[in-house]
Every structure is written in C-alpha cells, then in structure tokens.
Structure 1
Amino acid sequence: MLARKTAIVTGATRGIGKAIAAKLTEEKMNVVLVGSSNEIYKVEEELKGKGCNVTAIQADISNEQQVKEAVETTINTYGSLDLLVNNAGVGFFKLAEETTLEEWQKLFEVNVQGVFLCMKAVLPHMKEKRAGTIITISSDVARRTIANGSAYTASKYAVQGFSGAVSQEVREYGIRVGTINPGMVDTYFNNSQQGVPEKEDWLKVEDVANAVVYMASAPKHMVVDELMLHPLIQEYPNV
C-alpha cells in the first residue's frame, strides 16, 4: 500500500526518525531524510548501501524558506509527496522559573513552529492531489502534565491542538492528519544515551516506526487520529 509512494521524515539523523525512515524504506517507499546537521548524509549513505531509495536534505525546520525548498526538492525529485512525518523535536526537563527565554523559544521554534511550517508547505500539494497523510510524533505529555516539564509539555499540547484543528480543515480533501504520542522510548532524548541497561524495558524506536506504518497504511476511508504508546513498566494516569 505504501510501495512506490514518497515520504518526508524530519529529524531523521538518529533515534526515532532514523528508525521511521528505515522502516518506510522496507515498505518500498521513496524517503526524503531531513536533518539539521550534515550527519544526515551519513544516514543517506547507510540506507543507500542497503539498496534503499532515499535523498538527504540538510535543513532547519524552523526556517520557512528551507522547509519550502525541501518540499520542492522532494516533489521535483519524486514527482509527488504522499506522507509527511513530523518527527524532529527537542526537549528538556527544568522547573519553570529555571527555564530561560532562549530555551523556551528554541523549544517552540522546533517543536511547534517546525510542525506548522512543514504542514503549511506540504498541504497545497496534498490538496491539489486530494490525498496525503501527515503524522506528527508528539508525546504522551500532549495529554497530561508532568512536573519539571512545563515548557516541553506546553509545546506538545500546542502540537496536539494544532494537529487536531488542521485535521478538521483538510478532511474534505482526502488528507489525513494524526499524532503518535509515545511515553518512555529508548532514544537520545534530553541528551541521554540509547541502549543503556535502565532503558531495557522502555519502548524501542522500532515500536514507534511500526506505529507510523500502521497509521499511514490505514485504508483511504479511515483516519487514525491519535495513537498513545507506553511500555508496560511505565506508570501513567488514564488519559
């Protein structure tokens, strides 16, 4: 169902984004890898070495011009765009009064403004073809609050609200918009290490990648508005 279609995955340099990109190539998709550093070209080389059809673009998703150029390059290269995965994000845990304005602004530039700009850039093309899927990798804190995470939680609540509103705006065009909200994932979040023993029972990046494929592969008449993912060991309130 996804074969020969084209996807953009932001934040594809490592962690969840890289796993999503790799999984989509297994589904025989053309995948455009977007990352903020030149490390994205190493991922391109690695996946091409496995026979995958990928293109890397170094871009800052909080920069409107760079986002527009990335989308234009995708369409010019592959002729179409079927799936956008908004995965790029940053986060940290601090008390509200210890959070600097610069940290707050950076968080919202990437987590919220980046999602807005990427959606804005792809929607005209998807509306014209009257089809497309947009998936944003958010967080379970888009549905609950946590201490020491006021800025991060606020950004994810914003993403959830924005995605829900856009979903209602574009359904008449056959475009599906949804979010995947994972709990604890064994990745590099908050400058931590991936694969350390204390994260053994956490979600794996492949779990999130599989959820993306599930959501993107839903039949045309169906939209998966939201998926909440948690490891069994994580304690969390009913949401």
Structure 2
Amino acid sequence: MLENQTAIVTGASRGIGKEIAVQLAQKGVKLVLVGSSDDIFGTEKELKESGFNDTLAVKADISQESDVARVVEEAKKQYGRVDILVNNAGVGFFKSVEETTAEEWKKVFEVNVQGVFLCSKAVLPAMKEQKFGTIITISSDVARYTIPNGSAYTATKYAVQGFMGSLSQEVREYGIRVGTVNPGMVDTYFAESKQGLPEKEDWLKVNDIAQAVVYMASAPKHMMIDEMVIHPFAQNYPIA
C-alpha cells in the first residue's frame, strides 16, 4: 500500500519522528528526514546501515519559509514526488501565564503552528498535480481540553486542530487526505524530559504513535481518517 511512496517527516532526529521514519521505511516508503540540528544526519546513517537506502536527511528550520521550500525541492529532486507529509516537529514547555515570556510564546507558535502551516502549504502544489497525498500532523490530546501551566502549548494545539480541519475541506477535491494524531502522555523527549524514565513506564510508547501514523497513511483511497485520539490506559483525562 505504501511501497515506493515518498514521505517527508519533520522532527525525525529522535523520539516519535524517528520511530515514524523507521516504520515507514519498513513499509517501503522513500524518506526525507527533516531536523533542525546535525542529529538528523545520525538518523539517516542509522536507517541506511539498516538497509533503508532511500533515505535523505535535510537540516532545516521549519519555521522559515525558505528552509521549507528547500526541503520540498530536495524531495522532488531526489524522488520526483511527495506523497506523504508527517508534521511531527514540535516544542513545548510548562509555565504559568505570568512566567511565560513573549519570546517563549513566539517560539512555540513558530514551530508548532507556523511550521505546520508552511510545510503543509509547500507540499500542496505537488500533491494537487498528482491528485493524491496524505498530510498527517502529530498534535496532542490538549487540542481537545485545556491544562494549567500549559497555555502556550495548548493554544498551539487548538490552532493546529483548526488549521487541519480547514485544510482538509480545501483539498479533498484533489484527492488529498488530511488528519491529526492526538496522543496523550507519551514516553518521549518533550520539554526538558527524557525518554525511558521509570515514571513513564505505563505511558504510550513512540512505537504506538508511529503505528497510528502508518495506519492512517495506509488507509485505502476511498477512506479518510480525520483524527485519532490515543491515550495510555493509565492516564486520567477530561472527556471532551
């Protein structure tokens, strides 16, 4: 189903994004890995050492339109098309409104919202031309309810949910599917936390989120999955 499709995965240096890349590669997908640091080349190296040679790493800042344009051009130059975009890159922090600086607020919106907008916009011409494409954004369960000390992060996820909904309605006539995966607590790198800590033993794993992405991308052409909300059984959360 996914074999020989081309996917751009942002935030693929580690954690959820890296695992998404691995699982897509296992399905025969050609990859363009995007990261903001040189660590992205480490992911590329690991995948190629595992036999996944159709892998290209691009260091880029997704909040910058010129960088995003370069990523898409590299993808088209290398593989000739773009079939899948996974908007995974994101940042977050937990502070009260009073403690949050204007610069912190701006930064989280630049990555979590502007980055999703720029990447999604950039792949549309190619997807419209080929009358096919899938855009998947890794958002959060806080796109459905609010939490204290997370105003900036929560606001970005509400914004992403609204953006993806509108985009979906705009592009479905071109055969482009748009959806979000909204996880609860995931054992991954987030804010200043690390992956694999004992207190995260019962949380979702990066493998769980990657499987959801593969399932969504693998859906037959006549089916569109608008949203998946995934929680660990151990998490208590408000019912939307």
Task: Name the TM-score, length of structure 2 as normaliser.
Answer: 0.99
Q: Quote the Cα distance in structure 1 between the aligned partners of 2:159 and 2:37.
A: 26
Per-residue CA deviation, residues 84-125 of structure 1 (Å, 9 max, x unaligned), is 000000000110111000000000000000000001100011
**Stretches (4+) displaced over 4 A:** none
1:6 correspondence with 2:6: yes
Percent of aligned pairs sharing the same letter = 68
- The secondary structure found in structure 1 opposite 2:16 is helix
Per-residue CA deviation, residues 13-70 of structure 1 (Å, 9 max, x unaligned), is 0000000000000001001100000110011001000011210000000010010010
Matches within 5 A, 1:104-115: 104-115=105-116
Q: Quote the Cα distance in structure 2 between the aligned partners of 1:162 and 1:97.
A: 27
Q: Quote the Cα distance in structure 1 between the aligned partners of 2:237 and 2:39.
A: 35
Q: Quote the Cα distance in structure 2 between the aligned partners of 1:191 and 1:219.
A: 38
1:34 correspondence with 2:34: yes
Q: Quote the Cα distance in structure 2 between the aligned partners of 1:234 and 1:215.
A: 23
Residue identity opposite 1:192 in structure 2: S
- The secondary structure found in structure 2 opposite 1:106 is helix
Residue identity opposite 2:178 in structure 1: V
Q: Quote the Cα distance in structure 2 between the aligned partners of 1:222 and 1:78.
A: 26
Match of 1:98 in 2: 99
Match of 1:166 in 2: 167
Q: What count of residue pairs does the alignment treat as equivalent? A: 239
1:238 deviates by 1.6
Unaligned runs of at least 5 residues, structure 1: none
Per-residue CA deviation, residues 104-154 of structure 1 (Å, 9 max, x unaligned), is 000000000000000110001101111000000000000110011111000
- The secondary structure found in structure 1 opposite 2:98 is helix
Match of 1:133 in 2: 134
1:191 deviates by 1.3
Per-residue CA deviation, residues 188-235 of structure 1 (Å, 9 max, x unaligned), is 111111111110000000000000000000010111000000000000
